[in-house]
Amino acid sequence: QVRLVESGGGLAQAGGSLRLSCTTNVNIFGANLVGWYRQAPGKQRDMVAHITTGGRTTYADSVEGRFTISRDYANNTVYLQMNALSAEDTAVYYCRVVNTWGGYWGQGTQVTVSS
């Protein structure tokens, strides 16, 4: 059974930082995509950052320059370093992995930024 477990969410003050982690039993080395998405209350789930085959990294405009996605193949873990947080970053953050056999989501981790 595929498992993606996010951690690192919580409460942060505006201007602060958080680091999210997503550990999975899926081999991310061969994944077509590893990434982070977020969903704020009453809104759709949007892409935050992802890395696709070949190492191409894409960020949402709203987080460009503040967030950094990275991956650790040895530990099958994907990270999202979030700096200069604002109240607009408040959402549930989801990890996603896509490979030959399908796409998988984590259960989500809540990030709340107080202004």
- CA-to-CA distance for 41 and 97, rounded, in angstroms? 23
Q: What is the pLDDT of residue 56?
A: 94
pLDDT (tens digit per residue) in 29-65: 989 999 999 999 999 999 999 999 888 999 999 999 9
Residues 89-109: pLDDT tens digits? 999 999 999 999 999 999 999
CA distance 103 to 115: 35
Half-sphere exposure at residue 13, Cβ-oriented, CA atoms within 13 angstroms: 1
Residue 112 pLDDT level (bands cut at 50, 70, 90): very high
Distance CA 22, CA 93 (A): 10
Nearest 10 degrees: Cα torsion 37, 39, 43, 47: -10
